[in-house]
Chain A
């Protein structure tokens, strides 16, 4: 009996450690959903097709870098001047062109789900599942 309890405890500890090593701790961000960059692979590789995030909903405002392939967008929000607010890696608000985005759907795995999340270090991440 004692041996089986020890074995159970050892297994539980191993599983806990394995899970910790495989999945970084993340918490979902409520009020946000995932969207994806609506580009083919050829377009993503073509520098002339790169879509940039902006500091404000204005094409002339500061360039905040390329829009990622997966973005976090607030729920139930309408575009402002053709731009939607989004969270940067450091969870600051940047603006992305609404017409460059599409609902999140993985072509190779259509049942995959996505939720915006935050890591322990405060950076933006995503929780993917099925």
Chain B
């Protein structure tokens, strides 16, 4: 019979195996984006003040376990941006937005509200609105062509410039970013300084005429009053309850967008 090895002899062996394990890791890659993270939008009652990290550090580790490179990105990213990054197309969408001078946080806030940043197919016989950014074919086409005209280098990252590109979120992000840029420019010219993702929300959802009016309206204005042509059913379909004010609507939208609600649209 084999003699049982004493515990004090076993634990060092087990411990050293854990110490060796990290050396087996090859590299840290995030080709499909970062995994979804907890959104710290609502603070738990009784919880003390909490400040999210304002920088991200990525290390590349070789097969022998040594650190090949360390990259630190300064600046805080919003919870909406993290949601977009958790999608395989998230980084490409953010890059396309930046190429148009649009803040990726504002783009991410839009996709979070529109679809939860999921590439949904929602077109039907009555509407062509579809995709992660929920654009109609008309708006998508016009905005995409405008974006490509203003920055032709974007064409190299787009494989499908036809209307079927709507279901490619990285491509649709080009059109959505351009539309947000148009919204910001229009709102600025209409007296709204440094428009945020929240300021542009009504423009994105209801078009330029309603968007400008909602952004300019005082908080106590009923939403129905600045959307006079919409029926009760259309208001309900857009999540607007009877008597809801502009202030209440903005608050609801902001809670969905999280910290990205206050992100300026224009990054330059």
Contact = CB atoms under 8 A, between A and B. Distances in A.
Interface of A: 22-24, 26, 36-41, 44-48, 50-51, 64-70, 88-90, 104-109, 112, 114, 119, 123-126, 128
B207 interface: yes
B228 A70 contact: yes
- What are the nearest 3 A-B pairs in CB distance? A44-B207, A66-B208, A68-B213
Interface in B203-241: 206-213, 216-222, 224-232, 234-235
Interface SS of chain B: helix
Interface residues of B, number: 36
A23 B247 CA distance: 11
Contacts of A38: 229
Given A24-B219, A128-B221, A45 B228 contact: no
Contact of A44 (B210, B225, B232): B210
Given A36-B228, A70-B228, A106-B225, 8 more contacts: A44-B229, A64-B189, A65-B186, A68-B213, A69-B229, A107-B231, A112-B222, A128-B221
A7 B228 CA distance: 42
B216 A68 contact: yes
B225 A70 contact: yes
B138 A69 contact: no
Contacts of A69: 209-210, 213, 226-229
Given A41-B229, A44-B209, A128-B225, A89 B220 contact: no
Contacts of A107: 228-232
Given A41-B234, A123-B216, A106 B224 contact: yes
